[in-house]
């Protein structure tokens, strides 16, 4: 008996956390489904438009999982033409959806959200399935060194560089680095607005730490940055899920993240497997960074990794998604 077909869509000109979340789970579907990816900028078993159409209009059992409005629209067009398939849509943002988004989501057979607050805000029936990490890829490696950073110890902040991600708070708190010349702060990610980068550089200069702060553009080698860093800080004011936090934990970083933002408070139990602080409070973050540097609070990378292995692996996410598909 042939397996049912599963198609994940990805129409986006950039690789994002959504991209990585799709790639993480794809291998775990192969046992139960004939799995494909339709779109671009994503790794996987890709299919052409003609092959997609032949599957959608066949008598086979097909599940299509979309992640963005433009993908749902494309699939609804095929449905309008008479294609029969089960449509799953994941809502990746925590913000209140627009009328259009809500209308599109309502047209799906099942809607997936990532966290409780997102689920409650949506206002329509949905199933919560948190992202999972590829734990065999995102591994600790204490020997990893970065050639572009001269300091011995690294604090990492990964993800989009924009106001909502809290890098201003982090740089104000990072003034403590001035007394610790062998520590660096690496801010890795796509910069939304050059003027915001200038603002961040000015803060570093104001605190005389510009030689300890590195701005690194979005990189496909993000794992090396996690592995080379002792501490990862996620100072965001808002997050959809925050895959970065889970990935940093999987790589054995001691993570300091904002309380009740995205999945942070579900991933992290304060002082057990990481540290939480109130979003926007520079003094609180400053204290946690300083105590971590001075080893006055334990490095919780090992406990962080254990939490991910136990509860947040891509395999676990795939198992939960299969329940939705079936």
pLDDT tens digits, 163-191: 999 999 999 999 999 999 999 999 999 99
Does residue 319 lie in a domain region?
no
Does residue 56 lie in a domain region?
yes
User: In this structure, are 67 and 160 located in the same domain?
Assistant: no
Dist. CA 195–CA 207, nearest whole Å: 19
For residues 279-307, one letter each, b for 16 or more C-beta atoms within 10 angstroms of the residue's C-beta and e for the rest, the string is beebebbbbbbbebbeeebeebbebbbeb
What would the pLDDT profile of 14-72 be if each residue is shown by its tens digit? 888 899 899 999 999 999 999 999 999 999 999 999 999 999 999 999 999 999 999 99
User: In this structure, are 117 and 183 located in the same domain?
Assistant: no
User: In this structure, are 208 and 258 located in the same domain?
Assistant: yes
User: In this structure, are 207 and 296 located in the same domain?
Assistant: yes
Does residue 165 lie in a domain region?
yes
Does residue 326 lie in a domain region?
no
Does residue 133 lie in a domain region?
no
Residue that finishes a domain, picked among 94, 128, 162 = 128
Dist. CA 119–CA 107, nearest whole Å: 17
User: In this structure, are 162 and 305 located in the same domain?
Assistant: yes
User: In this structure, are 124 and 192 located in the same domain?
Assistant: no
Identify the CATH number of the domain in which residue 80 sits.
3.40.50.11930
Which percentage of the chain shows pLDDT scores above 90? 93
Average pLDDT over residues 70-81: 98
Helices 243-250, 301-311: axis angle to 10 degrees equals 120
- pLDDT of 155 reads 98
Does residue 198 lie in a domain region?
yes
User: In this structure, are 234 and 307 located in the same domain?
Assistant: yes
In which element (H, E) is residue 128 found? Answer: strand 127-128
Among left, alpha and beta (phi > 0; psi -120 to 50; other), residue 260 is: left
User: In this structure, are 179 and 254 located in the same domain?
Assistant: yes
User: In this structure, are 21 and 165 located in the same domain?
Assistant: no
How many folded domains does the chain comprise?
A: 2
Dist. CA 204–CA 324, nearest whole Å: 47
Residues 6, 9, 245, CA angle at the centre, nearest 5°? Answer: 100
Does residue 145 lie in a domain region?
no
Does residue 143 lie in a domain region?
no
User: In this structure, are 157 and 106 located in the same domain?
Assistant: no
Cβ atoms < 10 Å from Cβ of 179: 10
pTM: 0.90
User: In this structure, are 40 and 182 located in the same domain?
Assistant: no
C-beta of residue 86 within 8 angstroms of C-beta of residue 64: yes
Task: Look up residue 305 and give its two tokens.
Answer: 């990794």
Show the domain range for 28.
Answer: 5-128
Cβ atoms < 10 Å from Cβ of 66: 26
Identify the CATH number of the domain in which residue 258 sits.
3.40.50.2000
- pLDDT of 240 reads 85
Phi, psi of 146 (to 5 degrees): -110, 125
User: In this structure, are 39 and 95 located in the same domain?
Assistant: yes
């Amino acid at each position: 008996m042939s397996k049912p077909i599963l198609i994940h869509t990805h129409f986006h000109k950039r690789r994002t956390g959504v991209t990585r979340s799709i790639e993480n789970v794809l291998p775990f579907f192969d046992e139960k489904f004939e799995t494909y990816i339709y779109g671009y900028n994503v790794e996987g078993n890709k299919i052409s438009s003609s092959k997609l159409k032949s599957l959608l209009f066949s008598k086979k059992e097909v599940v299509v999982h979309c992640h963005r409005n433009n993908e749902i629209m494309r699939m609804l067009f095929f449905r309008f033409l008479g294609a029969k398939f089960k449509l799953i849509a994941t809502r990746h943002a925590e913000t209140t959806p627009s009328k259009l988004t809500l209308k599109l989501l309502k047209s799906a057979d099942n809607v997936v959200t990532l966290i409780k607050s997102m689920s409650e805000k949506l206002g329509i029936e949905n199933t919560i399935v948190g992202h999972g990490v590829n734990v065999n890829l995102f591994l600790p490696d204490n020997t990893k060194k970065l050639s572009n950073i001269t300091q011995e110890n690294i604090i990492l902040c990964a993800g989009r560089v924009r106001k909502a991600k809290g890098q201003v708070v982090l740089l104000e708190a990072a003034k403590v680095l001035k007394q610790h010349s062998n520590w660096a702060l690496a801010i890795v990610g796509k910069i939304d607005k050059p003027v915001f980068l200038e603002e961040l550089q000015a803060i570093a200069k104001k605190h005389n730490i510009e030689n300890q702060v590195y701005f690194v553009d979005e990189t496909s080698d993000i794992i090396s940055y996690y592995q080379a860093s002792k501490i990862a800080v996620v100072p965001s004011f808002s997050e959809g899920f925050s895959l970065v936090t889970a990935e940093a934990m999987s790589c054995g970083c001691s993570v300091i993240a904002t309380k009740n933002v995205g999945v942070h408070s579900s991933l992290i139990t304060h002082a057990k497997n990481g540290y939480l602080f109130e979003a926007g409070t520079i003094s609180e973050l400053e204290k946690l960074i300083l105590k971590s540097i001075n080893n006055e609070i334990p490095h919780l990378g090992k406990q962080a990794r254990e939490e991910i292995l136990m509860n947040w692996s891509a395999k676990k996410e795939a198992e939960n998604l299969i329940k939705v598909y079936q």
